[in-house]
């Protein structure tokens, strides 16, 4: 079948809640993907960082097949032999004390909101139903009603109200604004270490250290959403490590399965998760043996194959190469590790047209908002592959 057949069928039968580039992918291996017509592309999005380990990593695939032949789902009504081992290995890797597994990133965010509110009432002594969670402008934490209710992106919010109360929005990267916003009813500060969907917005150096100190001083739980930034994307296992801190609660997902199976987790280095009792929160698929087995191998290959270190080195190399491109269309280039963005000047006609041109040259990336191109290839990318990408990026941005 040619691509237009699939595109027409999708447009006819599917809800139009996405605006994808018109490429129909069929196969992936490492950093490369192929469409249904056999054209080859370098993937510089990595499924929004869900395939940090590369497409169809063979070791994760073996685990998926082996576990699928043994046991896939028990629900949490019973125990399984993969969940406890997943807990042990992720806690050791991230220096966490407790874990609560879920399926999607949005579910992890919803979970942590419930947990910090309960902690606020049971431990901090906040009056019932008065708990406040502070978040940042231009945040992206998912698509549920509660989450879009504290978004500042009108496209995410419009037409979906009424929204869940209890959230206060402050500027990102401004520790002073956090201190001013805290009240006796504040239970948590939920923040991305680097704002991904906003366009790879990097806060000032030391920002996370400052907010950690402020949260400790005011008995506020610091929650870092590392669903995109975590597991090597920024050149550290967790982006919090750039500022040398440990969050009280950390959210991970996406690359936790290497793109094979949905799994997310709330990691706690503080006894916040201890407030949840049986029956108060759960998920039929959360912590299932297939997901846990896959996650165990997915994090193992990140460590064993030095993907975090490669992300740091190749990210620096990629940024250096981009900085050498002389184009009147480029406003700014920024990034950390292999989490990189190019802002296009508004008069250049928007980032989408450049993503489409790059696709025609065999490179897949995606615009975020109107004028930003984001590059986030799998963490296994090599210098040679980056050079290949840089040639095409320079061609598209200079012609």
Q: Which residues are catalytic?
A: 140, 225, 254
d(C-alpha 101, C-alpha 264), whole Å = 6
The CA distance from 90 to 139, in Å, is 26
How many Cβ atoms are within 10 Å of 12's Cβ, its own excluded?
7
Count CB neighbours of 256 within 10 A.
Answer: 29
Cβ pair 199, 374 in contact under 8 A: yes
The helix (H) or strand (E) run that includes residue 95 is none
Distances (CA, A) of 156 to 138, 149, 160, 203, 320: 11, 9, 8, 23, 34
Selection from 107, 120, 102, 192 nearest residue 146 by Cα:
107
Tokens 């896939």 — which residue? Answer: 72
Q: How far is CA 48 from CA 123, 127, 336, 364, 366, in A?
A: 36, 39, 15, 12, 9
The Cα–Cα gap between 304 and 57 comes to 13
> Which tokens hold the place of 179?
């201190």
- Percentages helix, strand, coil for the chain, rounded to the nearest 5? 40, 20, 40
Task: Please compute, for residue 310, the number of CA atoms within 13 A of its CA located in the half-sphere on the CB side.
Answer: 19
DSSP 8-class letter at 345: P
């Amino acid at each position: 079948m040619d691509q237009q057949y699939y595109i027409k069928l999708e447009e006819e039968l599917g809800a139009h809640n996405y605006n994808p580039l018109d490429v129909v992918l069929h196969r992936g291996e490492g950093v490369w993907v192929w469409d249904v017509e056999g054209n080859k592309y370098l993937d510089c999005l990595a499924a929004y960082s869900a395939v940090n380990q590369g497409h169809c990593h063979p070791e994760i695939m073996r685990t998926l097949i082996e576990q699928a032949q043994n046991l896939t789902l028990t629900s949490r009504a019973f125990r399984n032999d993969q969940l406890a081992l997943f807990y042990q290995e992720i806690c050791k890797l991230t220096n966490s004390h407790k874990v609560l597994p879920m399926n999607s990133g949005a579910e992890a965010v919803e979970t942590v909101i419930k947990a910090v509110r309960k902690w606020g009432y049971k431990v901090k002594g906040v009056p019932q139903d008065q708990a406040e969670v502070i978040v940042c402008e231009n945040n992206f934490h998912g698509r549920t009603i509660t989450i879009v209710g504290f978004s500042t992106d009108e496209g995410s919010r419009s037409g979906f109200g009424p929204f869940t109360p209890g959230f206060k929005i402050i500027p990102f990267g401004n520790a002073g604004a956090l201190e001013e916003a805290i009240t006796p009813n504040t239970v948590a500060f939920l923040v991305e270490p680097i704002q991904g969907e906003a366009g790879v917005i990097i806060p000032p150096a030391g920002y996370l250290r400052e907010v950690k100190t402020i949260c400790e001083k005011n008995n506020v739980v610091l929650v870092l959403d590392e669903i995109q930034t975590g597991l090597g994307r920024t050149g550290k296992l967790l982006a919090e490590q750039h500022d040398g801190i440990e969050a009280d609660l950390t959210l991970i997902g996406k690359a936790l399965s290497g793109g094979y199976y949905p799994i997310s987790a709330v990691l706690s280095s503080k006894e916040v998760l201890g407030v949840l009792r049986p029956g108060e929160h759960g998920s039929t698929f959360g912590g299932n043996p297939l997901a846990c087995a896959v996650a165990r191998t997915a994090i193992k290959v990140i460590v064993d194959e030095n993907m975090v270190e490669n992300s740091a080195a190749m990210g620096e190399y990629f940024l250096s190469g981009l900085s050498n491109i002389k184009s009147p269309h480029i406003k700014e280039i920024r990034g950390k590790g292999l989490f990189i963005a190019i802002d296009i000047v508004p008069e250049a006609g928007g980032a989408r047209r450049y993503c489409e041109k790059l696709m025609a040259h065999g490179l897949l990336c995606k615009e975020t908002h109107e004028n930003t191109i984001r590059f986030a290839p799998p963490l296994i990318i090599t210098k040679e592959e980056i050079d290949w990408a840089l040639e095409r990026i320079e061609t598209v941005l200079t012609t």
